[in-house]
Each structure stands twice: as structure tokens, then as C-alpha cells.
Amino acid sequence: MRQNPQHIDGMRVLAEIATRHGVLEDAEFLLESAVEFEPEHRQARIDYVQILSKRQRFQRAVDEAKALLDQAPDNPQLQSLYAIQCMQLGDYESALTLFDKILDRVPNDPVTNVSKGHALKTGGRSEDAITAYRTALKSQPFYCDAWYSLANLKVYQFDDDELSSMQALDDNPHLGGQDRVYLQFALGKAFEDRKDYEQSFHHYAKGNAIKKNQLQYKAEGTTQECDDQITACTRQVFERETGHTAPDPIFILGLPRAGSTLLEQILSSHSMVDGTLELPNVLSISGKLRRLGQREGNHKYPFNLADLSAEQLATLGEEYIRDTQVHRMGAPFFIDKMPNNFRHIGLIKLMLPNTKVIDARRDPMSCCFSGFKQLFAEGQMFSYDQEDIAQYYLDYVRLMDHWDEVIPGYVLRVQHEDVVADLETQVRRMLDFCGLPFEDACLEFHKTERNVRTPSSEQVRQPIFSTALEQWKHYEPWLGPLKARLGPDWVAQD
């Protein structure tokens, strides 16, 4: 690289190293540069699409993947790449069409069958998804993404033969690291369904430990980030008139597995509200402000929020509204369900002061344990260690208390247990907060046909059930680190 700074494969290797260490911005810069230097280098362009997707720049990833596919329309690799990017924007029909084209040529390809299963699952076609996942396993029984995909349907239960097959795989010393992660979470679910909670926890804990070792997460970084938000975002920062006046977005945020998908399904059942995805746009704008703060002489984010003029903040709000348009179906309001947006409520308030923010909250032990036994597709790196997830919960509550203090009334808190206990009261409360008239469809949310991408996709297609509220108690003997880090006050709330 010193002798030839524009060595494309060298740049790809550096980008791979950066990605492995979580430095995605550097990886994107390297691959973007590689593509500029050598536009015909197909693998560099494929890598570029994948890093754009990892950074949740979905529209750009789709555009780049489509340009590649246009050059070789019958290439199965490029068809799959484009199909997966279509899924990121919610275009599941196009994705399924492409997956079927690939499977016409290579019917037993496990990767394509699993991807097809994901698209079917998101569209509510769970039986067809099961068929796709099982087809993948028939051709390649050690493709553990398929085992985990069955487990992640939540409503699926493994039979004894399937459990035996997974246990045999677990004894295979040659199984790769990521496959072993998938397998441990699948085994955890299999034993949970059999009420063998000790064995279930053993596998969940093993999967979490392997996954944590693949990541570079430091809880102190999140704590410092929340400290910075509290210090920078004082009441005075919000006393000026700022931002874009659009009232369109309804932000549902909080922790993963806290009931936000249920709230989204309820509100998106309203005729005036579009459900979308966990949109990356606020995180992208905060990243832009963070990069701005890295320049010499500038305050770092979030301290530079106070430096932005009303015009600059309005421009950011306009950018958000413009860039999220691709996810909307024409209703006057839409939902952004990115849970991590709780760390940027100050930014949201300044650039979009007329929006609504709903904090989806759940009992701490229930919420934290539910996150611990969930293998997330991307992000949520705090969730693979009991103490890390407890600290994250404490930081979240501390920061939400701050927002309540400096922007009183801006956030509506909705407790998951209250929704389960009295659905209609909580539905009316949310609709009143959003300025929406009551509609019966919000009470019959499970009948609403829409794509749902989160781990709760099957559950929100059923009426509310309370069986999961105290599920963590089955695992209480092994949750000492979680309980100790949360502290007696929080555990006592149970």
C-alpha cells in the first residue's frame, strides 16, 4: 500500500479489517475510494454495497447493487445482492422474484433459501418460510443460519430429530465460529420450548460468550455518550425556535425487546399512519454532526447542537423528511422505530420540534433477559453480556429521565405491561398523544397486513398474550450478574 496507495485489493483487505473491528466509516471510505479508482472492479463494488448496507445507507446500497445487476442481469450473485438490498427498503416482492430466479438455476442453494425464508417471514408467510429454511437444511445440514432462522420464528418448535441433529453439530469441532453462534441460540430455544431451562441457559450463555468475543463493545463508551447528552442538552438549548415544522414522524424508541414492535403494529393499523422500518436516518445525521465536531476548532457532538443555527437545524429536519420518503406509502404520518434513537432525542427535538416521541418501556429483568437470548442481525452489541445489558438499561433510564426534565411532555412513556393489562386504555392514550382519532383497527392490530422485520414479527400477528411477561423467572438461578448490576431497586419492581 505504501508503494501503491491505489492498490484495490489492498484497500479491500484494509476495509475488511476495519469492518471486523467495527470501524465501519473507515471501511466505507476505503471501498468508496476503491470503486472510484477502478469502477470495473466487480468485487470491490460488491464489498462497497455490503458496507453501505452495514452502515444502513440502504437507498445508496440499492442503487449501487442495481447498477451492478444491470451490467450482468443473469448473474446469480448479483441477483442475490440486489434482492437482499431490496429487502432492506421493504421491497419484498422484488426480492422474492429474484430469489426464485436464482433457485430455478440452483434449487438447493442454502443461502438463497434462507434469504427467501426471511422475505417470506417478514411478509407473514410463516409456513412458506419454514419450508424454505428446511429446504436449506436438507441440502446443507450444517448451515446453522437455517437452524437459527427456524428458532427465530418464535412460534416454531423443533422436533426430537431436529434437536438430535443440532446436538450432533454442537459436538463437531470443525464448526465455524458464526455457525456455532447461530447453533447455540437455536439450541437455547429448543430446550426452552422443552422447559429444560438449565440446558437452555447453558446454550444461550455459550452463544452470547462467543458473540461477545467477536465484538469490541465497551459499556463505558455508552455511559460516556449518555453523560455527554445530559451535559450538552440543557433546558436552555431547547428554549429557542428551531427546526423543520413537519409533524409527520412518530418516533418509537427505547430498548430492543421492550414492546416497540407491538406499539408500531398498533399505530400502523391506523388509517393515517404508515409503518416503516427501524430507520437509520437519525443515526446518520448524528454521525454527520459527529464528523463535523471532529474538525479543528469545532465542539464535538452533541455539544455542537447549541452552535447550530435555526436554519441549519431546519435543513437537517428537511433532510430527514426527504430521505425517509422512500419508506412511506402516502399516509400523513409515519413511524420510525429505531430503538437507539433514545440517545438522540435532543437532536430530534431541535430539528423536528413538532414530531411525537414514544418511549416503549418494559420491566428491566424481562427486557434485559429477552435481549440476552436474542441474536440480533446487526448492532445491539451491548446485549451479549449480562452486566453490559444491565448497564445499558441503567444508562437508558438515566438519559430518558433527563429528557423528561429538560423537554417536559415531549416524550410519552408506554409501559409494555400496561398495554398487556389494558390494551384499549393504552391505545387511546397513544392516539390522543399523537393527535389521532380513535379507530377500532388499532385494537385489532393482529389483523393488519404489513411487513414486519423485527424478531417479534410473528407475535404481533396474534392477539396480545401475557405468557412472556415473567419468562425470565425460569432462568433466575443463572441471572445473578444481571440482577446485581441492575441493583435491588430495579429488580424489586418486578
Residue 1 belongs to some domain of the structure: no
DSSP secondary structure letters along 205-271 = HHHHHHHHHHS---HHHHHHHHHHHHHH--GGGGSS--S-----EEEEEESTTSSHHHHHHHHHTST
b/e sequence 232-262, b meaning 16+ C-beta within 10 Å = bbeeebbeeebbbeeebbbbbbbbbbbbbbb
d(CA 178, CA 432): 46
In whole angstroms, what is the distance from residue 190 CA to residue 463 CA? 24
pLDDT at position 23:
78
Nearest to 485 by CA among 381, 360, 405, 382: 382
Would you report the helix, strand and coil content of the chain in percent, each value rounded to 5? 65, 5, 30
pLDDT at res. 89: 85
Q: Inter-axis angle of helices 386-406 and 364-372, to 10 degrees?
A: 130
Mean pLDDT: which of 18-32, 144-158, 294-308 is highest?
144-158
Q: Is the pLDDT of residue 174 over 50?
A: yes
Q: Give the predicted TM-score (pTM) of the model.
A: 0.89
> Which three cell numbers, joined as nine digits, stand for 156?
416454531
User: What's the gap between Cα 102 and its chain centre?
Assistant: 27
| Tens digits of residue pLDDT in 102-117 | 999 998 899 999 999 9
The mean per-residue pLDDT over the stretch 338-353 comes to 97
The mean pLDDT value for 467-489 works out to 91
Q: State how many domains the chain has.
A: 1
Which string of b and e fits 189-210 if b means at least 16 CB within 10 Å?
Answer: bbbbeeeebeebbbbbbbbbeb
Q: Output the nine-digit C-alpha cell for 487.
A: 441493583
pLDDT at 377: 82
Q: What is the pLDDT of residue 465?
A: 65
Report pLDDT for 457.
Answer: 46
> Given this model, what pLDDT does residue 14 score?
94
Coil, strand or helix at 335: strand
Going from the C-alpha of 436 to that of each of 14, 103, 274, 439, the distances in angstroms are: 51, 45, 13, 9
**Confidence bin at 385 (pLDDT 50/70/90):** very high
Phi, psi of 458 (to 5 degrees): -80, -35
Within a domain: 231: yes
Whether 255 is covered by a domain: the verdict is yes
Q: Is the pLDDT of residue 201 over 70?
A: yes
Contacts of 412 (CB under 8 A, 6+ apart): 356, 357, 358, 359, 429, 430, 433
Q: Residue range 131-155: average pLDDT?
A: 96
Query: What is the arithmetic mean of pLDDT over 19-23?
Result: 79
Residue 450, pLDDT score: 52
Q: For residue 464, what are the contacts with CB-CB under 8 A and spacing of at least 6?
A: 262, 419, 420, 423
Q: What is the grid cell recorded at 197?
A: 431451562
* Alpha-carbon distances of 337 from 275, 390, 447, rounded to whole Å: 9, 22, 20
Contact 170, 151 (CB under 8 A): no
Q: What is the pLDDT of residues 210-225, one digit of tens each?
A: 999 988 899 999 999 9
Q: What 3-state class would DSSP assign to 422?
A: coil
Locus of grid cell 388509517: 271
313 in any annotated domain:
yes
Instruction: Let me know if residue 474 belongs to a domain.
Output: yes
How many CA atoms are closer than 13 Å to the CA of 61, on its beta-carbon side? 23
Who wins on pLDDT, 474 or 280? 474
Q: Is 108 within a domain? A: no
Cell 392477539 sits at which residue? Answer: 463
- What's the confidence (pLDDT) of residue 459? 53
368 pLDDT above the threshold of 80: yes
Return phi, psi of residue 348, to 5°.
-60, -45
DSSP states of 64-116: HHHHHHHHSTT-HHHHHHHHHHHHHTT-HHHHHHHHHHHHHHSTT-HHHHHHH
Asked if the peptide bond before residue 302 counts as cis, ω within 30 degrees of 0, the response is yes
What are 131-138's contacts with CB under 8 Å, separation 24+? 135/108, 136/110, 136/111, 137/110, 138/108
Q: Tell me the per-residue pLDDT of 404-463, one tens digit each, with 9 for 90 and over.
A: 999 999 999 999 999 999 999 999 999 999 999 999 999 999 888 655 554 444 554 456
Neighbours of 5 (CB within 10 A): 10
Asked if 247 and 333 touch (Cβ cutoff 8 Å), the reply is yes
User: If you average pLDDT over residues 371-399, what whole number do you get?
Assistant: 95
Is position 477 within any domain? Answer: yes
Q: The CATH number of the domain where 456 resides is what?
A: 3.40.50.300
Instruction: Report the candidate in 190, 187, 150, 192 with the shortest Cα–Cα distance to residue 472.
Output: 192
Rounded mean pLDDT of the chain? 92
> What average pLDDT does the segment 267-290 reach?
92
Look up residue 484 and give its three cell numbers. Answer: 446485581
pLDDT-derived band of residue 59, with 50, 70 and 90 as boundaries? confident
pLDDT at residue 494 above 70? no
Residue 413: inside a domain? yes
- How far is residue 189's CA from residue 471's CA, in Å, rounded to a whole number? 13
Residues of the domain holding 264: 219-491
